[in-house]
Amino acid sequence: MADKEALAEIEQRIAIIRDNLRELVEQAAGFSGAADEELNSDRIANQQAQLDALLKERDELLKR
């Protein structure tokens, strides 16, 4: 049961981060200026790292 709850939580967090990434990419298209681009790039990289970690965690749960 705990694995199902943990998996559901991870899936929810993955969905949130994917939505965040979509929004950040859309914002990046509208930004101009090096400072804005760098900030957005950092945000995207951070969200991608979180997504990668969650996907790995989900894969490990599914192997059990």
pLDDT, tens digit, for every residue of 38-59? 888 899 999 999 999 999 999 9
Quote the pLDDT of residue 42. Answer: 92
The pTM score is 0.81
Encoded amino acid at 31, one letter: F
Alpha carbon distance 50, 58 (integer Å) = 12
Residue pair 50/17 in contact by the 8 Å Cβ criterion: yes
Residues 8-24 have pLDDT tens digits of 999 999 999 999 999 99
Q: Report the pLDDT value the prediction gives residue 28, as an integer from 0 to 100.
A: 82
Structure tokens of 57?
């965690």
State the pLDDT confidence band at 1, using cuts at 50, 70 and 90: low
